[in-house]
Structure 1
């Protein structure tokens, strides 16, 4: 390079007028106005107009004339104020321009597959991911990743100030599947044996507590071989935290303090703390989910008692088969077409149907006040009680009902609640509502495997007062677990851990993990617990999800530099890909083969 950069574009302002500088970057736009050439040049910090005037050295002018979009160039020149009326208020450097004296073409570029100076959201994601480096280089393309860097720095700054140690844990470790599938890595040195990529550093961070670390954190990559959604990736980033000599409130308090500090520093937003808390049972009762969006009201109501004596067959059959009836009041009136569409939506979610009643508080007749094909099945007294349950009522409202098994009712109505709130614009923008979900069951029953499984993971400590129930009624045992939810998205989960071997072995037994299998999978942890393990607990955040929500993005793929698709493919590199047979043979993955075979 003959022309070595002296300043980033983002540093420039009116105070540089009259100064000679050198910038380096990519050409976003090119305009030729009768011999005067204008180039809009950008680097990661900003955009600046560069002018090649008539009368400049002909060799430099000819060189400038050959420059095309996305060429990489360095320009030396003088900063001056733009002529009156030629300012561009849309960019920070809109009042100045660089009058070129010299230019150096550092590299040429093919024409990009999409326009680099426009909104790329309309471009197919497959194309954008294939050329991710161009999408990132586009205007504001690096913003999510610069923000992500800032978030990481703020997190480290806060936790370091609180006495936490950042300690790395292994990527090549032992396979201990208990939930999602592991990614396995074959060992060349030990034929037939495998490493696993960690789904989380859970066991290592517990062992670090036994080691006396006391306060640990790590911003760490984790891996899970599972089906993907908008908020899932096969490799993702966690903020992992663990502390010794703590109970639930200690962990939750430090997390609230961290998030308040992060939002203040990164977004200039003040969070109200402490965050509200809901028990698992309350969350399911009022919202139908343990990931409630509490930015708006519209709580679910259990109406099983109200319709106990109804002649409406759908409701009666559901109750007689052990199901429930729940309702949702929406402060809006819907057309018959909209109601049909909502019924179809509920059916796609698993409901047999969706009952509804339209309500007009100020109507002069019964028929106008209560409008629905099912009203004829109900006594006036039942409808009056419905008013009481949902009091206060808006002048116009619509009641929706689902009657089925409890899990189906909750699942359908929780999704319908969100769908309707968005439809009638009840969800506020740029608002961040955190809520803790606590008092989870320790176990749930898996019908397919016909056994108890952990609601969180096998290392979660039961509530002290419920420990006797492990022998008599384990499904009633509550855990010392807590999830943190932001705007209806779970962003983190944690618990107080089991720190005594005897209790850990008891939990393994209840989970139908024989002692031999427990020793094979978790023997190193069990042994560590025998050497003075302190009481400890922690939490792990999905950092990709948190940053996605902070930036108002729809998918975590938008805040990960090189994400996989929903089919776990990297369109940029072509991974996963085939490998040479020699590599497979070296790893002993084809028993019986020899290297001289073809």
Structure 2
């Protein structure tokens, strides 16, 4: 059994002491990180979330049974009393903030003992992630993980302070709400009191924050959990955290300008980086045309160029037929790669773009002795000259071409430019590329559902000049929507909302809902819109993804205390799990045993 604290009180965290504290009597508490036994002299690195302090047990000055000191092992929880002293010159540790001092211990309490951990509590270990997540309480002791979560905390506190200073009210919205299936799959919660009825966990606070604007609260924010029952990947979890905001009497410029200030504040507070404002803005169409992505990484070039007009009449039918059928032919100039990429590497890149739907990829290698390409024999000199001029082709370059419907061309070449940037090491470390993407399409066509669906969500307002296109020409209707992108990752998105019942009903009509279906699903919002609704809009950040990027880790699991794995299970707590039959009966649920 461990000892009790009694009247012992911790003076401060281990790494909060400096040479100014030499001679001070202190009480420290933490975990035994490493132990070195030199007989009558035992050194222990005492660790807590702040870092490490070396504590020294000298048998000649220790008050108590020195055998207790000899029993200390890694991860024992200790409390020590002693004096801070200067380390001798030969024991100074420049790698530690506390490397110039140590504590000479007089008294010791072993508060808790530990079994041998299944892995070392240290940074840089090569432990399988499955084992780390099974013993997450041990993994979270590692300084690396604690640093990640403390940085995440700084982001949240910085955002909270900025929003509060700018007149935003922190207001909670319900976790149990009505299912409004239009987007990702809902997590459902059965109701015991209303048999056969279900709550849904919120995919976002969208409808409630809009109602708060109708209620006159003007500026709302919340750091809140959201839930989506969808397939997982490195930057996606079934439950995730948003920094959620909404504002009244604003247009898109107002929202973006305020949030530029928030990002500037967060980067300064957390990383001491000065973000220059205003941030650059690209329309959705410009981003797609230049980078093949609506979340472009613009820290490097390799921009797409449209050569459709040049090859529209070409004898190379792969290109000319694509243009004739309404598609496009676009290309990337991989500058200086003719002498870097071997033929097998080019072939591997051809296979790579097929992952994104391309049937193939043509290429031209520009060499000292002429053009090396399987396609130039089908082209006229005029076409080749036009391509060289459009792409600024020089000796040493390789030109890569994809011809298909626009969506395939964008996806393929957008992925290719990222692949080439990684392969050619084109991105400088510690660079931060923030930009806005604006004027998104209001709708996108779902091949699966054979109808138009909302590009963002059904409550996004169309551009004023595109209101008539909502039902007459949905393919070309643009939205008052905007995303904020960091280093090629979307970290937030928002829009100006519809504040008219009539326009909201028109939007639902364009999405294929009858008036009855729209009122059945979203009636409480449509009803609220009738009672004086201000123009309003907002933006929400993915806190997990922002923390992932700012810490430099590769997965959001490393910035979430207790994440789920690929199959949405928690390896530590064993959730999800079966429940007692009595609980199911109370909920009027029968489980299909098959």
TM-score (norm. length: structure 2): 0.95
Give the CA deviation at 1:429.
Answer: 1.5
Name which of 69, 73, 76 aligns with 1:64. Answer: 69
CA distance in 1, matches of 2:591, 2:97: 64
Name which of 198, 210, 213 aligns with 2:214. Answer: 210
Give the CA deviation at 1:311.
Answer: 2.6
> Given the alignment of the two structures, is residue 268 of structure 1 paired with residue 269 of structure 2, yes or no?
no
Give the CA deviation at 1:320.
Answer: 4.1
User: Could you say what secondary structure the match of 1:396 adopts?
Assistant: coil
> Given the alignment of the two structures, is residue 86 of structure 1 paired with residue 87 of structure 2, yes or no?
no
Give the CA deviation at 1:546.
Answer: 1.1
- The change in CA–CA distance for 1:238 and 1:77 in structure 2 (over 3 A counts) is same
User: Could you say what secondary structure the match of 2:365 adopts?
Assistant: strand
> Given the alignment of the two structures, is residue 221 of structure 1 paired with residue 229 of structure 2, yes or no?
no
The answer to whether the 8 Å contact 1:72/1:107 transfers is yes
The answer to whether the 8 Å contact 1:60/1:103 transfers is no
> Given the alignment of the two structures, is residue 36 of structure 1 paired with residue 41 of structure 2, yes or no?
yes
The one-character-per-residue Cα deviations of 1:201-237 (angstroms, maximum 9, x if unpaired) are 1000010011100011111111011111111111001
Map of 2:469 onto structure 1: 469
CA distance in 1, matches of 2:538, 2:390: 40
State the number of aligned residues.
Answer: 584
CA distance in 2, matches of 1:174, 1:262: 34
Superposed counterparts of 1:79-478, under 5 Å: 79-120=84-125, 122-331=126-335, 332-333=337-338, 334-360=341-367, 363=368, 368-391=369-392, 395-478=395-478
CA distance in 1, matches of 2:84, 2:529: 67
Moved more, 341-350 or 291-300: 341-350
Give the CA deviation at 1:414.
Answer: 0.4
CA distance in 1, matches of 2:201, 2:552: 31
Unpaired runs of 5+ in structure 1?
593-598
- The change in CA–CA distance for 1:202 and 1:118 in structure 2 (over 3 A counts) is closer
CA distance in 1, matches of 2:509, 2:471: 11
The one-character-per-residue Cα deviations of 1:316-345 (angstroms, maximum 9, x if unpaired) are 443344432110011223111211221221
The one-character-per-residue Cα deviations of 1:489-537 (angstroms, maximum 9, x if unpaired) are 1111111111111111111112111111111111111111111111111
Superposed counterparts of 1:6-17, under 5 Å: 6-17=11-22
- The change in CA–CA distance for 1:28 and 1:390 in structure 2 (over 3 A counts) is same
Moved more, 415-424 or 369-378: 369-378
CA distance in 2, matches of 1:542, 1:57: 52
The answer to whether the 8 Å contact 2:471/2:506 transfers is no
CA-atom RMSD, angstroms?
A: 1.7
Give the CA deviation at 1:246.
Answer: 0.6
Superposed counterparts of 1:485-564, under 5 Å: 485-564=485-564
CA distance in 1, matches of 2:62, 2:497: 73
Unpaired runs of 5+ in structure 2?
none
- The change in CA–CA distance for 1:346 and 1:591 in structure 2 (over 3 A counts) is closer
User: Could you say what secondary structure the match of 1:92 adopts?
Assistant: coil
